[in-house]
Structure 1
Amino acid sequence: MVLSRRRRIRPVAIDPATGRRISPWPFAGLVLLVSSFFLYVASGLLAPAWAVALLLLSWLVMLVLCFAWWTSHPRWTVTLGLFSFVWWFAAITAGGVFLDWTA
């Protein structure tokens, strides 16, 4: 008995409405962006209220941008999610060094 070789097929998610392949990249970017939200909210322990409000506003802009890039640039959403961590760290560090934010 000769067994034929079977071709391995990678499972691909297909959108039933459009018939196009669903990319996992925007979901990964959104997970990164949402996970950084907790840092932005907890910034009240390190920064004054006006700075926390500006940080939350910048996070909201990044969230809107993530949804705007969802289908047009799905891989950019991951970069945006990583950037949200870098932006938070840079803003908190710069505020601590240059504006003397102390807890």
Structure 2
Amino acid sequence: MTTDPLRTKASPWPFVGMAGMACVFFLYAASVLFAPWWLVVALLVVWAFLLVVACAWWTPHPRWVPWVPGVALVLWVAVVLSA
């Protein structure tokens, strides 16, 4: 029995990263309750950029994708504490 190189197991890490991005989105969106509107808009633009990065890394670098929401979380904490 030969192993088909196209039928390899899918890595779970991109799915973990995208679940993290969904969680971080709610933090970014809920910032409207205590942060100025312009700061929330800027945060959501940054989140959208990070989502594009996570999507771009899905196949070539699946183990890097979970780091993207980690960076997003650290960035959110830094921005909220400095505002």
TM-score by length of 1: 0.72
Report deviation, 1:94: 1.2
Q: Residue 20 of structure 1 aligns with which residue?
A: 8
> Match for residue 43 of structure 1?
31
Answer 1 or 2: higher relative contact order, Cα 8 Å, separation at least 6.
2
Whichever of the two has the greater Rg, that structure is 1
Higher helix fraction (1 or 2): 2
Deviation at 1:45, TM superposition (A): 1.3
Aligned to 2:71: 83
- Preserved CA contact (<8 Å) 1:46 1:92: no
What's the RMSD between the two structures over aligned residues? 0.9
Across the two proteins, how many residue pairs are aligned to each other? 78
Corresponding residue for residue 3 of structure 2: none
Partner of 1:12: none
In structure 2, the residue matched to 1:71 is 59
Q: 1:58 — aligned with what?
A: 46
